Amino acid sequence: MSRRKPSALAGLIESFFRQRLAAQRRASPATIATYRDALRLLLVFAAEKLAKPPVALEVKDLDRDLVLAFLDFLEKKRGNSVRSRNARLAAIRSFFRHVTYADPSSVAMAQRILSIPGKRATRKVVSFLNKEEVAAVLATMDRATAQGRRDHAMVLFLVRTGARVSEAIAIDVGDLRLATPTQVLMHGKGSKDRVVPLLPELATTLQSFVKSKPRGQQRGPLFTNSRGERLTRWGVNHILARAVNEAAAKAPSLRGRSVTPHLLRHTTAMDMLQSGVDLTTIRSVLGHASEETTHHYVEANTEMKRAALAKGQHDEAAALDKYEPPDELLALLEKL
């Protein structure tokens, strides 16, 4: 049986990833993975809706109506948030922007897709863990086992550096500097690298963890699965969910909470903020492109707001106290 010849769509997708993203824009592996997942979901949805195998899909099949139906599917059937929906749309727009250059005959259709607006998202209150909850999660890992050492090192790394999950799983052992000054080279979004200091506790944990790895794995990916392959996002989420579920037995506040790697990133930011670290430094550590993103942590810091309100009430009460001149002469002057 002969294999079906790929359509022109396949060539456009390949050139989008190989030429547009990788060669021209020098997109990071995390960005490429995000765009790949978005287009894969779109192709699977289109194939099912049009009763065609993905390889038989053509550019004209992915019209505006189908993309809109796909976006509704993401929210209503997959339960994606508005932010996730908008992120998928951004990936689709990027692809069709490439189509306008690579396939002039599809420009009109591509422009109709490019005109699809993003949805306005309601910003949620930033959620984070307190010190007791972090300690409870870390305590569930049995460091007498190889898996427990990996899980403990990984969660501690996330909560002490504020790394994105994509950054954490991309780190190689060679990106670590475990001699003074201890630090790690992070490969951030948009191919922007940054150096993040490692606190003594984390540096010691990582040093011990690396030494305990099999000799053949001491130069490759830092965090690996049981087969020695680089951990995936799914793997990290699974490890964290399992640990939180176990920790909930001793920390009731964790019961029913959805604790994700990104929530640990929020935890790092709030811990630094409450410790008096300035926003510029927090932005540098977390690798935020926009100052606005970092300011959201200030808005979410209830304890700092409470302290400010308490201080204001204290100052107001002090201002209302009646001034009593300490001397009769001063009292006379007060009456003049």
Strand partners, 196: 184
Q: Which of 78, 119, 219, 262 is catalytic?
A: 262
Q: Is 164 a catalytic residue?
A: yes
Q: Which residue has the tokens 């990833």?
A: 17
What is the chain's length? 336
**Sign (positive or negative) of CA dihedral 37, 39, 40, 42:** positive
Q: Where are the alpha helices (DSSP H) in 139-252?
A: 146-161, 165-170, 200-212, 233-247
Strand partners, 184: 176, 196
Q: Is 35 a catalytic residue?
A: no
Sheet holding 176-177, edge to edge: 176-177, 183-187, 193-197
Q: Where are the alpha helices (DSSP H) in 77-130?
A: 82-102, 107-114
Q: Which of 164, 187, 266, 283 is catalytic?
A: 164
Dihedral angle of Cα 103, 104, 109, 111, to the nearest 10 degrees? 110
Q: Is 265 a catalytic residue?
A: yes
Q: Is 152 a catalytic residue?
A: no
Among 93, 86, 100, which Cα is nearest to 114's? 93
Phi, psi of 185 (to 5 degrees): -90, 115
Confirm if 73 and 45 have CB atoms less than 8 A apart. Answer: yes
Q: Is 288 a catalytic residue?
A: yes
CA distances from 147 to 21, 102, 174, 192, 225 (A): 35, 47, 21, 31, 9
Q: Which of 150, 213, 266, 288 is catalytic?
A: 288
Among 222, 220, 185, 219, which Cα is nearest to 205's? 222
Q: Which of 20, 265, 266, 283 is catalytic?
A: 265
Distance in angstroms (rounded) separating the CA atoms of residues 310 and 216: 57
What is the distance of C-alpha 319 from the center of its chain? 46
* Coil, strand or helix at 131: helix
Which residues form the catalytic set?
A: 164, 189, 262, 265, 288, 297
